[in-house]
Structure 1
Amino acid sequence: MSDGQGYRGFRPLADTASGVLDPVLRKRAGINLALLQSWEDIIGPALGNQSRPLKILWPRRAHEDDPFQPATLVIACEGFAAIRIQHETGEIISRVNAFLGFAAIGRVKIEQKPVPTAGPSRRVRQPIVDAAAEKRIAAVTADIEDDGLRAALARLGRSVIAEKAKRRS
């Protein structure tokens, strides 16, 4: 990380898989893999474990000149999570739009469906890095005010450092 060169030549398997799956998901469900993978980080662990995005329904445009209209995000959840999602719809829309980088979503539709709970198989074990790497990660993320974002970036840093170390050995 400190060499200033970055990781220009490094292309993780997830990027390759995303490149293959994103067009399929976009065509079939109007959704991308990054949104699916980051769902828990976007809406928080409590609701993220109890729900998942299913698809994005874009309104049909009669003409190419028609103005942009935001889409509907369809979310699968069950039981009490449906009530919480309904109550926090505005916040969820804001967070998803911030993640996507534009005001893509204007409405949320809830579908009552079983959602697999987050067990050991769904959570990836965090890689272990040495103390020096932890210190560098802490220094780089120290100025980030949002606790969730700081933690997510620290996890990302650990993963990148561990993957780089694994490739060296």
Structure 2
Amino acid sequence: MSEAPKSKADAEPKRRNRAVTLADAITGALDPVLKKRGFASRDIITHWGAMAPRPYDAVAIPDKLAWPRGERSAEGATLYLRYIPGHALAISHEGPAIAAAINRYFGYVLVGQIRLSAEPFTPGSGDRDEKPSQPSQSVIAKVGAQVANVEDDDLREALRALGHALSSRSERKAR
């Protein structure tokens, strides 16, 4: 019995017997998503801070690149930017300057005009600030008993704080 050839999806991933950066590892996963949003490559997103004029590099990010119907013309594409609320007027006013800065970075007319995306941009929205949880009374008593024999007051307080932090960490893992 001959074995049927495996499809590309069934094929085992290629091993790289070396350390690779995260950017290299996820290259294949991001490209289809970026192509769907109109970006031929990651350059405009990864180098946004270098190409966009200040302060627009911090208050806006590229969302989508829309090419005109038909052929790619000399006018360039429309770049949609997600922006922090409150900066819409400034970005729409400075759109030609932002487009010129992007075109200067690439060396050709990539962006013809800047439009504002409907979705807002909230910097650091992926960051989660965890509130320090208060240890339970049993943990406070247990840690207090363990550090009660320490003579130095500063060292005892530091060990107590460390014990509370470690106990809250282990409680979070147990959840």
Deviations 1:60-86 (A, max 9, x none): 11xx6x854411001111433111211
Counterpart of 1:95 in structure 2 is: 101
Equivalent position to 1:84, from 65, 85, 90: 90
TM superposition shift of 1:117: 1.9
The aligned amino acid for 1:29 is: R
Unaligned runs of 5+ in 2: 1-18, 128-175
Work out the percentage of aligned pairs sharing the same amino acid: 27
Unaligned runs of 5+ in 1: 1-9, 122-169
1:1-169 alignment runs, 5 A limit: 12-18=21-27, 20-26=29-35, 28-31=36-39, 32-44=41-53, 46-61=55-70, 67-118=73-124
Bigger relative CO (Cα 8 Å, ≥ 6 apart): 1
TM-aligned CA distance change 1:104 to 1:82, over 3 Å = same
Question: 2: distance between equivalents of 1:16 and 1:69?
Answer: 35
Aligned residues: 110
Classify the secondary structure of the residue corresponding to 1:14.
Answer: helix
Question: 2: distance between equivalents of 1:89 and 1:55?
Answer: 15
TM superposition shift of 1:100: 3.0
TM superposition shift of 1:109: 0.8
Question: 2: distance between equivalents of 1:84 and 1:49?
Answer: 13
TM superposition shift of 1:57: 0.4
Question: 1: distance between equivalents of 2:80 and 2:118?
Answer: 10
- The question of whether the paired residues in 2 share the 8 Å contact of 1:71 and 1:104 is answered with yes
TM-aligned CA distance change 1:86 to 1:45, over 3 Å = same
Question: 1: distance between equivalents of 2:112 and 2:77?
Answer: 6
- The question of whether the paired residues in 2 share the 8 Å contact of 1:77 and 1:112 is answered with no
Question: 1: distance between equivalents of 2:45 and 2:67?
Answer: 17
TM superposition shift of 1:14: 2.1
Alignment TM-score, normalising by the size of structure 2: 0.50
Aligned-pair RMSD on alpha carbons?
3.1
Classify the secondary structure of the residue corresponding to 2:81.
Answer: strand
In terms of fraction of residues, the more helix-rich structure is: 1
* Rg comparison, structure with higher value: 2
- The question of whether the paired residues in 1 share the 8 Å contact of 2:61 and 2:82 is answered with yes
Question: 2: distance between equivalents of 1:83 and 1:55?
Answer: 19
Question: 2: distance between equivalents of 1:13 and 1:98?
Answer: 29
Question: 2: distance between equivalents of 1:105 and 1:81?
Answer: 20
TM superposition shift of 1:40: 2.2
